[in-house]
Structure 1
């Protein structure tokens, strides 16, 4: 695994971001599961730097809801409950629906080809882990033509955070055919330039995940 460069060779503002990106990726992939203690001294040694950029990286992860600070334990990878996940899904609806409305007037054939390629790979895959990744890529591709980097960054963070907790569970429960059918309908609306239809389809798509999550939690509670 490639490590960020030491503080002597990397820009001081860039190193915390590089550390944050690496840890974030490992948290979202499950390499660092919920409950993992993130010790600053160990991370500083791992990334060949001081504790200062590590501390800044952990604070960034805290603002994203991936890490919390516990007394006598320091930074811990958090585990969200269903209520928190549903709140994030509601935020996703607001952010992604706004983004797709901005995106559609700017979409060109290159955008449609990219989204089609992602969905084709999704359909061909038999790996739930890969399904989550292709789902992430598709949703980000929908927002990219909005040409708003701050909005895209917010979507990426909330999309990834919810996918971390929901996609494997939902994929086991529903398979990929239902979500994929939604994706193709959204893509078709984008190709037609029908922003109203695309927004409605995307909203229903995300809220369906929320409904399935709540139903799955009810079933677990009943056992």
Structure 2
């Protein structure tokens, strides 16, 4: 359920670019990464931070501050990816 809501939030942001082909490619990436997003939310206690970042993104969008929204979105995605990679590496080292 959370992964679906996460996608809907991000898709709403991306849809404003009016690039349906790009949105389709991003959705494919999202679907392929869904299991990792679920791990991140369930195992890494990431939900609260993600939610806070979503509210910051929403605020920037409501203020029509494109530069801030892009900066926040990039940081949101990069940080999530870096944390997930570190977590998966930890698990691999334990094996």
TM-score of the aligned structures, taking structure 2 as reference length: 0.89
Q: How many residues align?
A: 93
From 150, 156, 166, give the equivalent of 2:36. Answer: 166
Alpha-carbon displacement from aligned partner over 1:162-197 (angstroms, at most 9, x marks no partner): 2x2311110121241110001010010001111111
Which of 188, 202, 209 pairs up with 2:80? 209
Q: Deviations over 1:59-93 (max 9, x none)?
A: xxxxxxxxxxxxxxxxxxxxxxxxxxxxxxxxxxx
1:193 pairs, out of 45, 64, 69, with 64
SS at match of 1:137: helix
Query: 2:51 matched to 1:183?
Result: no
User: What runs of 5+ residues in structure 2 fail to find an aligned partner?
Assistant: none
**Larger relative strand fraction:** 1
Q: Specify which structure has the higher proportion of helix.
A: 2
| Structure 1 residue 131 displacement after superposition | 0.7
Q: CA deviation at 1:222?
A: 2.7
Shift of 1:218: 2.2
Q: Which residue of 2 aligns with 1:135?
A: 6
What is the RMSD computed on CA atoms of the aligned residues?
A: 1.2
Q: TM-score, normalised by structure 1?
A: 0.40
Return the alpha-carbon distance in structure 2 between the equivalents of residues 131 and 210 of structure 1: 17
**Regions of 4+ moved over 6 Å:** none
Q: Which has the larger radius of gyration?
A: 1
Structure 1 runs not aligned, ≥5 long:
1-129
Give, in whole Å, the separation in 1 of the partners of 2:85 and 2:16: 32
